[in-house]
């Protein structure tokens, strides 16, 4: 009879031990989540005084008094003061397979005052180049880096050093 009582006690200890492990995991999870929340609050604090991007766009458009159509999407960064020209989106089909389309938005940062005719020439050059690219050439992160390097090289050659930086705003393949 003493032998029958021992297995029952051993089973009770195993059950109690698993409950303790589950409780410990739950406590560690709660402490980790709380710590992540605190660190996230320190890294990205909320500033209630800062205006929201939509309010800034409305203020820049003249308060929305019917003076112009509101822009949707990313705010334009092209101004003469900072020497940045946002090119029109390049939308074309790829060389192979020709049923795939690509959309690329690029901004150019000029070293001096922006030259709009040069920016248009660069836009047309990028468009012509994108029509020669195949999907296999731009697959994956390495392919995108090669594409980015090729476009930067073409812009540098076309602008003869007048463009300081090529900024890629969006890149979509359909």
Q: What are phi and psi of 141, to 5 degrees?
A: -65, -35
141 within some domain: yes
5 within some domain: no
- Measuring CA to CA, how many Å separate 131 from each of 23, 62, 92? 60, 39, 7
Tell me if the bond preceding 97 is cis, omega within 30° of 0. yes
Distance CA 62, CA 77 (A): 17
Q: Kindly report, residue by residue over 35-75, the tens digit of the pLDDT.
A: 888 888 888 766 655 555 555 545 444 444 444 444 455 55
Distance CA 40, CA 47 (A): 14
91 within some domain: yes
For residue 111, the domain's CATH number is: 3.30.479.30
70 or 87, higher pLDDT: 87
59 within some domain: no
- Whether the pTM exceeds 0.75: the reply is no
Task: Give the strand pairing for 101-110 and 163-173.
Answer: antiparallel
Structure-block tokens of residue 170: 């969006």
8 within some domain: no
> Mean pLDDT, to the nearest integer, of 8-29?
77
Buried b (16+ CB within 10 A) or exposed e, 48-62: eeeeeeeeebeeeee
What's the first-to-final CA gap in the chain, in angstroms? 75
pLDDT value, residue 132: 93
**Structural domain range at position 127:** 81-173
Q: Kindly report, residue by residue over 1-13, the tens digit of the pLDDT.
A: 455 555 555 555 5
63 within some domain: no
Q: Kindly report, residue by residue over 105-164, the tens digit of the pLDDT.
A: 999 999 888 888 999 999 999 999 999 999 999 998 999 999 999 999 999 999 998 999
Burial class (CB in 10 A: 0-12, 13-18, 19+), 163: buried
32 within some domain: no
34 within some domain: no
Nearest to 134 by CA among 146, 152, 117: 146
Nearest to 106 by CA among 158, 61, 54, 60: 158
Instruction: With a cut of 90, say whether residue 80 has pLDDT above it.
Output: no
Q: How many domains does the chain have?
A: 1
pLDDT value, residue 145: 94
């Amino acid at each position: 009879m003493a032998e029958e009582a021992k297995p029952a006690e051993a089973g009770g200890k195993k059950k109690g031990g698993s409950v303790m492990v589950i409780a410990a995991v739950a406590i560690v999870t709660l402490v980790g989540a709380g710590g992540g929340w605190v660190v996230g609050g320190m890294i990205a604090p909320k500033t209630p005084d800062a205006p929201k991007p939509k309010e800034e766009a409305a203020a820049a458009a003249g308060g929305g008094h019917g003076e112009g159509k509101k822009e949707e999407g990313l705010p334009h960064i092209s101004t003469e003061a900072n020497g940045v020209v946002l090119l029109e989106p390049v939308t074309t089909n790829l060389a192979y397979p020709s049923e795939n389309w690509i959309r690329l938005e690029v901004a150019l940062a000029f070293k001096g005052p922006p030259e709009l005719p040069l920016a248009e020439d660069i836009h047309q050059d990028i468009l012509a180049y994108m029509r020669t690219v195949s999907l296999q050439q731009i697959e994956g992160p390495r392919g995108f880096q090669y594409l980015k390097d090729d476009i930067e090289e073409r812009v540098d050659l076309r602008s003869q050093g007048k463009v300081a930086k090529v900024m890629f705003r969006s890149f979509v393949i359909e």
